[in-house]
Amino acid sequence: MDHQPKFFENLSGTGKAIGVLTSGGDAQGMNAAVRAVVRMGIYVKAKVYFVYEGYQGMVDGGDNIVEVSWESVSSILQVGGTVIGSARCKSFRTREGRLQAAYNLVQRGITNLCVIGGDGSLTGANLFREEWSGLLEELAQKGKIDEEAVKKYAYLNIVGMVGSIDNDFCGTDMTIGTDSALHRIIEVVDAIMTTAQSHQRTFVLEVMGRHCGYLALVSALACGADWVFIPEYPPEEGWEDSMCVKLSENRARKKRLNIIIVAEGAIDCHNKPITSEKVKDLVVQRLGFDTRVTILGHVQRGGTPSAFDRILASRMGVEAVLALLEGTPDTPACVVSLSGNQAVRLPLMECVQMTQEVQKAMDEGRFVEAVRLRGRSFENNLNTYKLLSHKKPDAELPKTNFNVAVLNVGAPAAGMNAAVRAAVRVGITEGHKMFAVIDGFEGFSRGKIKEISWGDVGGWTGQGGSILGTKRTLPAKYLEKIADQMRTNNINALMVIGGFEAYESCLQLHEARSRFEEFCVPICVLPATISNNVPGTDFSIGADTALNAIVETCDRIKQSASGTKRRVFIIETMGGYCGYLANMGALAAGADAAYIFEEQFDIRELQANVEHLTEKMKTSIQRGLVLRNENCNENYTTDFIYQLYSEEGKGVFDCRKNVLGHMQQGGAPSPFDRNFGTKISAKAMQWISKKLKETYRKEEGKVFANTDDSVCLLGMRRRNLVFQPVAELKNETDFVHRIPMEQWWLKLRPLMKILAKYKTSYDVSDSGQLEHVAMHSPKEAETGAI
């Protein structure tokens, strides 16, 4: 980045008071947002107030609006729901109610509000802001406040964060709570699948989403459901027949279970509701299948927030405070949100209007428009689902005569199987013959390669590890044998799914092209590793699952530490030399420190951390959590740090250590990894098809691709998915430590330190500038978004 860093030290909150409230339906992660707002607010020397019970508390005043301290938000990061309460409030809808609320805020000097809620709550906040000066004048006329106060508190600043499990707010890719709700749904689906399989049953699952089908759509993608009903994309006339044909075909293919997912707001093309009971009755009457209905209900709102939601909410909370500090009377009320992996600020009312447009389009039967208005991420999900769920009859499939091989390289990562499934199914749809290579390049050299069909990959999305088998072996020592196998099996393209080894392997194949013509074919790398250390991408398949495993363990450890009091835990995470897991795990688990290779540390820093913890033990928070990346320093080992803390903390706290090890690699893939793996794999396969067409030499009857851009890595960069030639990524790679030279998440490191009460400087030049909500063209949906 060539921008000049701009630090927030010059943004002072002295003399400012911020009120934080949660309103509307609760969502997991709201507490993480509240915690970040409070701590960032106190950090910049502003006063911060809780407004209990949403707008109702603002109207009632009294003990409902309370100044809070740093410790007030301790131990709430891992708690679902909202600890400050949320209530529906009729009185705030009246001018009298808002007048009372304004009076209660002015009494405490609060002119900055951070509202965490859905579109209803945010619209209410905007109206309050527009009326503010009028309300103060009315209060002055009634003699409740003096003219001085009218001048002093002349304008109200509002920043919103969207907390809603439905992900129904336009302008933001993910709302706080959505990822956690998907975790709950997928846990249930995985559990139901085992019982359904035992009895050859059909299950109809109803998930939340009155006006928005996001949860239904993504969970259908993530579990490979047979059919999904969502409000934005009603089934065509005669869907009853098509669905029953599909279900019976699946049974004929020896599939022992069917899963149908219904959003609670699902409708048909005449705007009539489609209920889970109706779907069940239909299956029973037409097919006689043993069918059960499960309504997930409020389970989806409950439970602990996922790692993704905690990090999202913490980032947004800090961003919200920055937006309030920079606010002027002319700044419109804004929403802080995420676009791809980038924090953005958007005018609140533009987002609300667009969200209302979607509903209007659906009411008027303009469903194509409704999907487009939902945003490119939603559209991509829908297109990918359509691609993967229904196999066309063989007669309708194109025939390209191309053979494409898929293999896994490196260590196993959760989500690899979802990527293989998507590759195989999209490849078949595009008309190719798909081959699976067993045990990476080592297996390839031994001829362990077989054709793989549509049905072979059924049920793979939810499986952890690597079904194809994976090895760390690089191709360099088997080049000749691999070239032989490519020739024998007439392989025209390769998809390599794996971590740093996969990237290195493809570099080796690229460099060997001059000696072996067999490697002159399109090759695509998909990053899949828990370490998230592959250059050219912000995220790798598998890292989210590993992060959730770490956070879950840290939660348990913190609980055990608060039981014993005055205990500090040192936890070692995996990741090679890459500190992603340690750093993001620390942010999501609310740790006191994280030692990583990318940020060198010495004995003085270790000493300072011990002193920091000693001070902390004097407060009401009598436990500590420290994460250490396995390779952060060869001399300051986990044992060394444990012994140092034990010695220095004598009499103040005692110490325990825990090496998390391979549990970080295992487990069922998280919804994010299933979805990410599926989507990038489908996109990569389409790229391979395009390259095959471009590089096919008709006169010789073969594919010949020898340009740099025919060996690419598909990665997520900030807001877009991009194909990057591996030869170009070489310059961005530190091969000795197997990490990219620049890593985006290091920018979030100060965030973790601020939330753990360390003084630090935070570069805000990258923080969101106010943008407008962009309407994307249908073309754009294909190019970039996740």
Binding-site residues for substrate = 164-166, 201, 208-210, 264, 292, 298-301
Give the residue among 249, 303, 730 at the shortest CA–CA distance from 508: 730
What distance in Å separates the CA atoms of residue 507 and residue 526, rounded to the nearest whole number?
13
Asked if 62 and 105 touch (Cβ cutoff 8 Å), the reply is no
- Classify 583 as helix, strand or coil: helix
Task: Tally the residues of the chain.
Answer: 786
Give bridge partners of residue 48 from the DSSP assignment: 18
Binding residues for ATP: 25, 88-89, 118-121
Asked if 673 and 415 touch (Cβ cutoff 8 Å), the reply is yes
Asked if 313 and 193 touch (Cβ cutoff 8 Å), the reply is no
- Classify 428 as helix, strand or coil: helix
- Please work out, in degrees rounded to the nearest 5, the angle formed at the alpha carbon of residue 682 by the alpha carbons of 681 and 688: 85
What distance in Å separates the CA atoms of residue 369 and residue 356, rounded to the nearest whole number?
13
Give the residue among 704, 739, 361 at the shortest CA–CA distance from 537: 739
Give the residue among 27, 81, 28, 89 at the shortest CA–CA distance from 54: 89
Would residue 576 be called left, alpha or beta, if left means φ above 0 and alpha means ψ between -120 and 50 degrees? Answer: left
Asked if 449 and 407 touch (Cβ cutoff 8 Å), the reply is no
Torsion over CA of 235, 240, 243 and 247, rounded to 10 degrees?
Answer: 160
633 is written with which tokens? 């320093």
Q: Is 508 exposed, middle or buried (0-12, 13-18, 19+ CB in 10 A)?
A: middle
Give kind and range of the element (H or E) at residue 626.
strand 623-629
What distance in Å separates the CA atoms of residue 586 and residue 584, rounded to the nearest whole number?
5
What distance in Å separates the CA atoms of residue 755 and residue 748, rounded to the nearest whole number?
11
What distance in Å separates the CA atoms of residue 178 and residue 189, rounded to the nearest whole number?
16
Quick check: is 60 catalytic? no
Burial 264-292 (b: 16+ CB within 10 A, else e): bbbbbeeeeebebebbbebbeeebebebe
Distance (Å) of CA 168 to CA 231, 353, 361: 12, 12, 14
What distance in Å separates the CA atoms of residue 724 and residue 739, rounded to the nearest whole number?
17
- From the list 166, 168, 309, 538, the catalytic residue is 166
Give bridge partners of residue 655 from the DSSP assignment: 568
Give the residue among 507, 579, 551, 417 at the shortest CA–CA distance from 735: 507
What distance in Å separates the CA atoms of residue 369 and residue 639, rounded to the nearest whole number?
59
Based on its alpha-carbon atoms, the radius of gyration of the chain, rounded to whole angstroms, reads 27
Pairing of strands 593-595, 720-725: unpaired
Give kind and range of the element (H or E) at residue 527.
strand 523-527
Please provide the distance, in angstroms rounded to a whole number, between the alpha carbons at the two ends of the chain: 23
Q: What is the 3-state secondary structure (H, E, C) of 653-709?
A: CEEEEEECHHHHCCCCCCHHHHHHHHHHHHHHHHHHHHHHHHHEECCCCEECCCCHH
Give bridge partners of residue 145 from the DSSP assignment: none
Give bridge partners of residue 115 from the DSSP assignment: 21, 160
What is the CB neighbour count within 10 angstroms for residue 705? Answer: 20
Asked if 54 and 24 touch (Cβ cutoff 8 Å), the reply is yes
Number of helices and strands (H, E) in the chain? 25, 27
Give kind and range of the element (H or E) at residue 607.
helix 603-616
Cite the active site residues: 166
